[in-house]
Structure formats: structure tokens, C-alpha cells
Amino acid sequence: MSKIQKRQTIRQSVSYPAGTAFAYKVPEGYFGNLTEEQEAKVRAMWAIGFKFIEICEADDDASKEKTLEEKYVPPAKQSRRLPRGASETHEKYPTLVNEILSLLPTTEKNLDRLAQQAVESLDNWTPEMYRLIILRVVKHEHPDALALRFLRACNWDIIKATTMMGKTIYWRTIEAGVDEDILRHGEGGAAEDEKNNRGITRALGADFMKQARWGKSFIHGVDRAGRPITHIRVRLHRSSDQSVQSLERYTLYLLELARLSLRHPIEAGTILLDLSGFKLANFDLKPLLFIFKQVETNYPGSLGLVLVHNAPVGLKTIWRLARVWLNKELTSKVKFTYGKKGLRRWIAPDQLIRELGGEEDWEYTYVEPEPDENAVMNDTETRDRLLGERMVLALKFEELTKEWVMNAQLSEKAREICDRRNQCVADLAANYWELDPYVRARSLYDRLGYFRGADGVEWYPGKADEKSLQEMMEKIRSIDSCGASHHEAVSISDDESRYNSDLEEMR
């Protein structure tokens, strides 16, 4: 990085949540602390997407009703296959090449080839998929923070990041059904399946609830860096106790809940693999590889640290063999610890549970779902109203972002636009927390009062300094990401009804 770029990096100091050990500055390359070059790449990533929407929608036959496959299954995933090196997007929208070429900040000499690669990356997208980013995927976080996760994971390669994000949106929506199935069904749905269903559905529900009740994996507390900790008590795992499908489903469920608990710009969590009392002969590597692969491909930037605690002799050798299949940046976050002294380096004693040698008098106890805890999800009228409001905000964010892209960085105009764009993002976050009870089944962490919606997450009731917590949240909300955009009213009557209809059909 040049000296000029270093001088122009905007740094924001952000405190850790109450109860953590020390203050922290947002690392470079994260939301709130970007160089001009990094900001330009975030801008370009959004610009490419919205230009793609603009050209596709201009060329589409308005009289033709699209099928769900045409809307949400990109060319790269459809049955039709072009010759190697060809791009269906390029074939259908040839003007995209020159348009994207003008949007890419690059020193690449062969710009035509670069633009062609960018268009090929859009084979992993449809316009409707781009709209799902704001409608479904970002939830309560800033959309720029999501884009930055993929950029960092791809070493700031815009084309690779665009491709990777497209694959993740498709995976979430079509393959895994994260929002429409796993989170909507939740613990209450699994308990109901276990009790009243039959066959594979009943078995999957029973397997899911078995894992929840045993506390094989659970989220509790934060480490010294303010990162929520997902505990995995490996000694409780037996591959014969549940099907692979059930194990993966429960793992994705926990990953999503951990993601919901991320409320600060560090945007990462900690996994604590407790191997105490575990025998190496019983070691099953597949679940851990599944977790790492999901974090690497579909949850980039969401993992800050992996603590492998009290590993038996020989496990380090297995790890050295296994890590060759994983991303180097990811494996660099793995730390082996032994005894309470080793853990206390990463987790403060008063935030470490007694089971692991800490001072917090807490142990995992599962509280069964209440029969009517998800009754509000039957209120489809309120749900659809909130989804309609989210559509308005999503299209407003789209228009704001288009103007933000067109304004010079670090100018007064850009800062003024940034304020309005960030306010739109704050409105989106507030909308999500209103919507959340209508689209996500309640979890153990909701029943215990740890998840508090828009008020954040409180793992240590009574310990937090509410004033400090409020000050931290105000600092986070005031962070400048990368600018903002246009604040004009958006007319969305036709789009709103169309997309709401699609969302209902996708359910």
C-alpha cells in the first residue's frame, strides 16, 4: 500500500461490548476502516450488480411471465450448458461487456478479457437474486459489510467475490433453504415433527432435538475480543446418533444463530472445540470439516478464532494432514489450548463457564419450545406488510447506492450522501428486527432472554454496563462505511406486488 493510501485510510475506534476485556480498533479492510482502493472495490461490486439489473430488466420482455427457475436459478446452475469458456449472460446481454469495463477499478492491461470474466461471473446471478441480498440475506447487518466479507475472502478480487457471493445466494435460497426452511422451521418445528410426524420427517425432527437437548453444540458468551463463542463438546458426538442430514441441518442452524448474535464491526465469532475426556479412537473428522467448509464458502469472514481445547495426543498430526484441504487464512485462526490457563488467554475468567475452569456459574440446560411460541408466524398480514416495507427500503437502498457510486470519494458530497445511505441501512435493520418473529422460529436463546432483537444480545444478565453498551451501539451506527446515495422517494407499486408474490410462492 502506498503512503498516500495509508494517509487516506479512515479509521474508526470501536469499543468492545460491555464485559469484554479491552478496547479495539476496526482492522483495515473491515467496515468502517477502508482505504480508497478498498472502498472503490466495494463501490464497483455494487455498481456491477445494479448495472446488471438495469440492463437485464430493460431487455426483458415485460409481457412474459418468468418461471421461478428463470427468476432464482442462474445460468450456471441451469441444465443448459454452453461450450467451455462461453457465457450465457454475455450471449444474452452483449452490451454488458462495455458497461462493466467502465465500472472496474483496475490496472489490468487486458481490459477486454477482464470485462469478459466479469460478465461470466454474472452467470451465477439473476436480477431477482440480487434483490434477495437486501430482502433476505443481510438481515440486520450493513450490506457493505456483507460485500466486504466476500472481497476479503477473495483477496479483493471483485470478479471472484461476485462469483462467490452469487453461489452463496443460490445455496442459501435453493439448495439449503436456510431462511425458508431451517430458520422458519426451527426448534419448535423439529419438536412437532418428532411428536406428530412419521417416517424420515419424524426421524429428522428427533435427531435435531436430540442434539439440542444434549448440548453437543451451543452458543454462549464472548471471548476477550467480544466475539460470541460457539461451544462444541466433541466427547458427546457419535456419528451413529444422528443422520448426516440431521447433523448438517443442526450445524447450519447454529451458524445462522451465531451470525444473528454478531452486533459489532468485527463481524466474527469464535468456535471452542472442547476435547476434554475425548478419545482419539472415536474422532470423527467429517463434522468439523463440514463446519470449516461452510465457513470458508458460505460464511466468509464470520470466523475469528477456533480454540481446540485439551486435544488428545496425535490430534495435531491429524490436523496437519487435514488442513491442506482448507483455506490458509482460515487454518491460521486455529489455536490449540490446554487447561484453564490456556483458555484464559482468549476468554476472560468471569466469562468462561465453570465446566472449562472459568468463574461463570452457568451450565447448558435446554428449555423445550413452548406450544404457542411461534403463533405470531401465523399472522401473515403483518408479515406481508413488513415485507412490503422492506421492499420499499431495499429499492431505496438500490437508488441511493447508484448515486453513491457516481460521487467522488472523500468529498463533502460523498459524506452527505453517506449519511442518508447509512440511515436507510439503519431503517433496514430496524425493519428486520420487527420482521424477525414472523419469519424465524424462536430458539433457546430467545426463550432464555439472551437474544433481545434490536436491543442486541446479552449473555451475562446483570453484568453489562448498559450505558457502555448503548455508547458502543451508537458508535457502530455512526461509522462511515464507504459513502451513501440518493434519498428520493421510490415508486415500487408494481415491483412490490411482484416480489412479494415470488416470496410467497418460494415458501
Cβ-contact 122, 80 below 8 angstroms: no
Does residue 29 sit in helix, strand or coil?
A: coil
- 317 vs 378 pLDDT, higher one: 378
Q: Where are the beta strands (DSSP E) in 97-150?
A: none
Cell of 478: 455512526
Considering only residues 463 and 180, tell me which one the structure prediction assigns the higher pLDDT. 180
User: Which parts of 31-110 fold into alpha helices (H)?
Assistant: 36-59, 68-72, 88-92, 96-101
**pLDDT given for residue 20 in this prediction:** 41
Per-residue pLDDT, averaged over 406-415, amounts to: 78
CA distance 89 to 73: 13
Mean pLDDT, range 228-251, rounded to an integer: 85
Arithmetic mean of pLDDT, 91-100: 80
Judge residue 342's burial from the number of C-beta atoms within 10 Å of its C-beta, 0-12 exposed, 13-18 middle, 19 or more buried.
middle
The 269-274 sheet, strands edge to edge: 217-222, 228-233, 269-274, 303-309, 334-337
What is the structure's pLDDT at 83?
67
pLDDT tens digits, 167-210? 999 999 999 999 999 999 999 999 999 998 888 999 999 999 99
* pLDDT for position 498: 47
Q: Is pLDDT larger for residue 13 or for residue 27?
A: 27
- pLDDT average, residue stretch 85-90: 76
The pLDDT assigned to 2 comes to: 39
Q: In this predicted structure, which of 1-10, 34-43, 414-423 has the lowest mean pLDDT?
A: 1-10
Residue spans of alpha helices (H) in 261-359 = 286-297, 315-322, 328-331, 339-344
Q: Which of 55-64, 118-127, 306-315, 332-341 has the lowest mean pLDDT?
A: 55-64
Beta bridge partners, 13, equal 25
| 499 has a pLDDT exceeding 50 | no
Domains of the chain by range and CATH?
A: 30-175 (no CATH), 203-356 (3.40.525.10)
pLDDT band at 226 (very low <50, low <70, confident <90, very high): confident
Q: Please check the confidence at residue 465 and state whether its pLDDT lies above 70.
A: no
Q: Give the helix ranges, DSSP H, for 444-483.
A: 444-447, 466-478
Is residue 258 within 8 A of residue 269, CB to CB? The reply is yes
Q: Three cell numbers at 45?
A: 461490486
**H/E run at residue 309:** strand 303-309
Q: How confident is the model at residue 110 (pLDDT cuts 50, 70, 90)?
A: confident
Question: What is the mean pLDDT of the segment spanning 415-434?
Answer: 94
Q: Minimal CA–CA distance to 173: which of 132, 126, 123?
A: 132
Check pLDDT > 50 for residue 507.
Answer: no
Lowest-pLDDT choice from 15-29, 58-72, 168-182, 188-202: 15-29
The answer to whether the beta carbons of residues 144 and 150 sit under 8 Å apart is no
The pLDDT of residue 11 is: 35
Residue 441 has pLDDT above 90, yes or no: yes
User: What is the chain's mean pLDDT, rounded?
Assistant: 81
Q: Kindly state the cell numbers that stand for 234.
A: 466433541
How many CA atoms within 13 Å lie on the side-chain side of 60? 17
Residue 130's pLDDT band (boundaries 50, 70, 90)? Answer: very high
Cα–Cα dist 392/405, whole Å: 20
All residues at 6 or more sequence positions from 304 whose CB lies less than 8 Å from its CB, including other chains = 225, 227, 266, 268, 269, 270, 333
CB contact burial 270-279 (16+ within 10 A = b; e otherwise): bbbbbbeebe
Mean pLDDT of all residues in 429-437: 97
Residues 243, 375: Cα–Cα separation, whole Å: 29
> Are 157 and 55 in contact, with CB atoms under 8 Å apart?
no
Can you tell me which residue has the cell 453489562? 464
DSSP 3-state of 24: strand
List, in sequence order, every residue forming a beta bridge with 271; answer none if it has no partner. Answer: 230, 306
pLDDT exceeds cutoff 50 at 5 = no
User: CB of 137 within 8 A of CB of 173?
Assistant: no
Of 55-59, 259-263, 317-321, 385-389, which range is least confident? 317-321
Q: Mind listing the pLDDT tens digit for each residue in 345-381?
A: 999 999 999 999 999 999 999 999 999 999 999 999 9
Task: Tell me how far apart the terminal alpha carbons of the chain are, to the nearest angstrom.
Answer: 47
Q: What is the pTM of this model?
A: 0.84
Measure the CA–CA gap between 466 and 362, rounded to whole angstroms: 21
**CA–CA dist 127, 277 (Å, integer):** 51
Q: How many CB atoms lie within 10 A of CB 497?
A: 12
Return d(Cα 212, Cα 364) in angstroms, integer: 10
Per cent of the chain over pLDDT 90 is: 47
Residue 145 has pLDDT above 60, yes or no: yes
| Residue 198 CB contacts under 8 Å (≥ 6 apart), including other chains | none
- Please report the pLDDT score of residue 170 as a whole number: 95
Alpha-carbon span 479 to 300, nearest angstrom: 22
pLDDT at 108: 66
Question: Is the model more confident about 67 or about 116?
Answer: 67
Q: Where are the beta strands (DSSP E) in 198-299?
A: 217-222, 228-233, 269-274
User: Does residue 232 surpass a pLDDT of 60?
Assistant: yes
pLDDT band at 430 (very low <50, low <70, confident <90, very high): very high
The answer, yes or no, to whether residue 480 has pLDDT greater than 70, is no
Q: How confident is the model over 272-298, as pLDDT tens digits?
A: 999 887 776 666 667 777 888 888 899
Q: Taking the C-alpha atoms of 398, 401, 402 and 403 in order, what is their torsion angle to the nearest 10 degrees?
A: 130
Residue type, 106: T
* Model confidence band, residue 129 (pLDDT cutoffs 50, 70, 90): very high
**8 A C-beta contact, residue 91 and residue 82:** yes
Q: Are 272 and 230 in contact (CB under 8 A)?
A: yes
d(CA 431, CA 390): 7
